Amino acid sequence: MKSTLECYYNLSCMIELDRHFDLSLGSSFNFSNLNEILNPPNETIETIINKLMVDSWISNISFSSYYNTCSPSSSTVQIIKLSLSKYKDLLKDHSYSLQYSCSHISIPYETFLSIEPHFHDLCSSLFISDEWIHYIYGEGHLSHRFSFDDYRYSAPEQFLSLSSLCKLSQEKLLSENLLIEQIEIILNRLQSTTSKSFLNILNLIRETIVHLSADSTSYTASVSYGECNCGLSFKCTQSSGDMMSGCYPLESILQTKLYCFYDQNCIDSNGNFTSLNMSTLKKSQFNLNSTIELILNNLMIEKYKSSLLYENYFKQCQQLSCSYSYIKTHDVTQTIISLIFLYGGLVIITRCLAIIFVKIYQSEKNRINPEAPQQNI
């Protein structure tokens, strides 16, 4: 192993080396000198073996071969039983590949979802209470005490209409059972569909009131409010202070501005309703200049309060199957370690083979062949 290449560059040295073999090759063997350009004469055999007996590496770069070797591989994991906490963890790590199937095709929304509307304070105020309605009715024959263009002429009917509208909006809303896949969608559809349905009912009531003129409660004289004649339109109204008076109590209360219910002087500027003790209404999302009709178009609702119990939804689903996929990749560290092991393994194998060959050579060299004895003549 410590021998150098000097002998392999010298023909006489090679012939001398040949004499040590059992079978002399003689002149029939043509020795050729090694190329001194590849390796220097003083380089040892051990150094060459450490280089894996390789003089130079020829690089052949092929991206397709590299990709086929290092391309990531996909793996799919099946999970038999999955808890909610484990599902949330998997959803964070494998949101794009996680597949979760339910054994129940349809799940009742009432098992995990509840929607509660918060109505405008008008629908819980003194103005729609039985006590207030009975009081203004008890004032007695207000229609005989005030002219038709004074809102107090039809005040009892106006507040009674407001009370009925609040009850109608609540009953109509609570009877709806619109269930769709997402909370935001269900709220939007609930508001839109229920509002349209409610407004259809309201318009039907308004038309019915006009045509039931034979009934004394709906009868109106052919009077005019400004340039609007009640004989031509049932929507004629005009201002009476800050309240509204019109052909019908329902139309009058619908055109009344919201701000009037926040000011006691607006309702009772002359102090006729001595029993009125108005409490301040809470701040509303609606503008104070909004009409009651505009608020009614929104079902008298300030906001919706939704409650979603995802744990109940997860239980109702009852897992049928669950799986997720992930990509196996070769990171830099793993690649470097693999190359080190590969290089080290080749070096060890080469050294072992070199030692075996040297041992065989030494064994053959040290073998003693007996020479035939010479006889004296």
> Please, which pLDDT band fits residue 59 given cuts at 50, 70 and 90?
low
- What pLDDT, on a 0 to 100 scale, did the predictor assign at position 182? 44
> Please, which pLDDT band fits residue 112 given cuts at 50, 70 and 90?
confident
Average pLDDT over residues 3-32: 64
> Please, which pLDDT band fits residue 139 given cuts at 50, 70 and 90?
low
- What pLDDT, on a 0 to 100 scale, did the predictor assign at position 24? 47
Does residue 223 fall inside a structural domain? yes
CB atoms within 10 A of CB 244: 23
Residues 6+ apart with CB under 8 A from 245: 148, 149, 150, 151, 153, 154, 225, 237, 238, 252
Residues 143 and 48 in one domain: no
- What pLDDT, on a 0 to 100 scale, did the predictor assign at position 213? 47
Residue count of the chain: 377
The pLDDT of residue 111 is above 60: yes
Residues 168 and 273 in one domain: yes
Residues 354 and 277 in one domain: no
- What pLDDT, on a 0 to 100 scale, did the predictor assign at position 176? 35
Average pLDDT over residues 232-256: 80
Does residue 98 fall inside a structural domain? no
CB atoms within 10 A of CB 358: 13
Look at 289 and 49; give whichever has higher pLDDT.
Answer: 289
Residues 164 and 289 in one domain: yes
The pLDDT of residue 376 is above 60: no
> Please, which pLDDT band fits residue 200 given cuts at 50, 70 and 90?
low
Look at 284 and 2; give whichever has higher pLDDT.
Answer: 284
> Please, which pLDDT band fits residue 189 given cuts at 50, 70 and 90?
low
Q: Is the pTM of this model over 0.75?
A: no
Summary mean pLDDT of the chain: 70
> Please, which pLDDT band fits residue 305 given cuts at 50, 70 and 90?
confident
- What percentage of the chain has pLDDT greater than the value 90? 0
> Please, which pLDDT band fits residue 134 given cuts at 50, 70 and 90?
confident
CB atoms within 10 A of CB 298: 16
Residues 342 and 264 in one domain: no
Residues 152 and 285 in one domain: yes
The pLDDT of residue 284 is above 50: yes
The pLDDT of residue 255 is above 80: yes
Average pLDDT over residues 27-53: 68
Residues 300 and 345 in one domain: no
- What pLDDT, on a 0 to 100 scale, did the predictor assign at position 320? 77
Average pLDDT over residues 142-156: 69
The pLDDT of residue 291 is above 80: yes
What is the rounded CA–CA span in Å between residue 143 and residue 132? 17
Q: Which of 41-45, 282-286, 291-295, 327-331 ranks highest by mean pLDDT?
A: 291-295
Look at 285 and 347; give whichever has higher pLDDT.
Answer: 285
Residues 297 and 338 in one domain: no
Lowest-pLDDT choice from 1-5, 104-108, 238-242: 1-5
Does residue 292 fall inside a structural domain? yes
Does residue 296 fall inside a structural domain? yes
Average pLDDT over residues 203-210: 58
Look at 17 and 260; give whichever has higher pLDDT.
Answer: 260
- What pLDDT, on a 0 to 100 scale, did the predictor assign at position 181? 44
The pLDDT of residue 138 is above 60: yes
Q: Which domain holds residue 359?
A: 331-364
Does residue 283 fall inside a structural domain? yes
Does residue 135 fall inside a structural domain? yes
The pLDDT of residue 269 is above 80: no
Residues 150 and 187 in one domain: yes
- Report the number of distinct structural domains present in the chain: 3
- What pLDDT, on a 0 to 100 scale, did the predictor assign at position 173? 43
Residues 219 and 261 in one domain: yes
Amino acid, res. 310: Y
- What pLDDT, on a 0 to 100 scale, did the predictor assign at position 191? 56
Amino acid, res. 358: V
Q: Let me know: does 87 contact 102? Beta carbons within 8 Å.
A: no
Q: Let me know: does 209 contact 248? Beta carbons within 8 Å.
A: yes
Lowest-pLDDT choice from 97-101, 255-259, 316-320, 334-338: 334-338
Residues 169 and 274 in one domain: yes
What is the rounded CA–CA span in Å between residue 168 and residue 305? 20
Q: Let me know: does 86 contact 329? Beta carbons within 8 Å.
A: no
Residues 12 and 135 in one domain: no
Look at 163 and 319; give whichever has higher pLDDT.
Answer: 163
Residues 6+ apart with CB under 8 A from 163: 127, 128, 129, 133
Point out the domain boundary residue: 38, 56, 74: 56
